[in-house]
């Protein structure tokens, strides 16, 4: 695992990523856009390429972007789980869910985890089962809202909250279920004419 961090910031963004991953050309922008201190972490879903085919790694939580303050609040990765495949990731994401409102969890094109089963032979890490004893967390997948009437209503409501002095164009609205709740979070992404980003979170319960 590699842990990358933005520099020169009082509260840097961290992103943990496996060595055998190919990322989109604008991936750094996506990490910065979706990771907001005290509000959201970013756990994008990659496509996993294996010897016997490919699939979306829906339940892989090891690659995640998070602010240093939120990482520390969640107490980070526990080295106790270092040789129990996936348990360290499950343990961390479960604790992270309790410290921030939600986790942005979207399928990202050109975000690919490639490896061959051959390199796992005689490897202690991959021969030890995930024996995490707690309840496995379920991170709701985020989706893009397409209902035009709902988008219009959300935009009107959000612009009243933002009170921008310049015109804003609504780019995307992500919808994510709230952990342990029937509610959802609408994550509205705006840009102004200078391509500066704005956002608003609207929770429905």
Q: Tokens at residue 47, please?
A: 């496509």
CA 52, CA 117: separation in Å to the nearest integer?
A: 9
What does the pLDDT read at residue 116?
Answer: 53
pLDDT band at 54 (very low <50, low <70, confident <90, very high): confident
Nearest to 33 by CA among 76, 69, 71, 65: 65
What does the pLDDT read at residue 123?
Answer: 53
Contacts of 177-185 spanning 24+ positions with Cβ under 8 A: 177/140, 178/101, 178/102, 178/140, 178/203, 178/205, 179/97, 179/102, 179/137, 179/139, 179/140, 181/205, 185/101, 185/102
Q: Tell me: the pLDDT tens digits for 69-116?
A: 999 999 988 877 766 667 778 888 888 888 888 888 888 888 887 765
**Is pLDDT above 50 for 126?**
no
**Is pLDDT above 50 for 37?**
yes
- pTM, two decimal places: 0.67
What does the pLDDT read at residue 122?
Answer: 45
**Is pLDDT above 50 for 187?**
yes
């Amino acid at each position: 695992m590699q842990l990358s961090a933005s520099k020169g910031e009082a509260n840097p963004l961290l992103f943990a990523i496996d060595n055998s991953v190919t990322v989109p050309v604008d991936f750094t922008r996506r990490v910065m856009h979706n990771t907001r201190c005290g509000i959201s972490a970013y756990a994008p879903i990659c496509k996993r390429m294996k010897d016997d085919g490919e699939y979306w790694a829906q339940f892989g939580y090891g690659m995640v972007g998070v602010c240093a303050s939120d990482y520390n609040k969640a107490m980070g990765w526990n080295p106790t789980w270092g040789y129990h495949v996936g348990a360290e990731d499950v343990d961390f994401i479960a604790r992270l869910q309790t410290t921030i409102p939600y986790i942005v969890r979207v399928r990202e094109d050109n975000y690919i985890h490639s490896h061959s089963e051959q390199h796992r032979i005689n490897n202690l890490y991959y021969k030890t089962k995930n024996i995490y004893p707690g309840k496995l967390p379920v991170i709701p997948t985020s989706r893009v809202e397409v209902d035009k009437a709902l988008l219009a209503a959300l935009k009107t409501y959000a612009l009243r909250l933002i009170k921008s002095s310049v015109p804003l164009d609504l780019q995307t609205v992500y919808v994510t279920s709230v952990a342990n709740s029937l509610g959802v979070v609408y994550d509205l992404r705006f840009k102004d004419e200078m391509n500066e980003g704005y956002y608003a979170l609207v929770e429905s319960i």
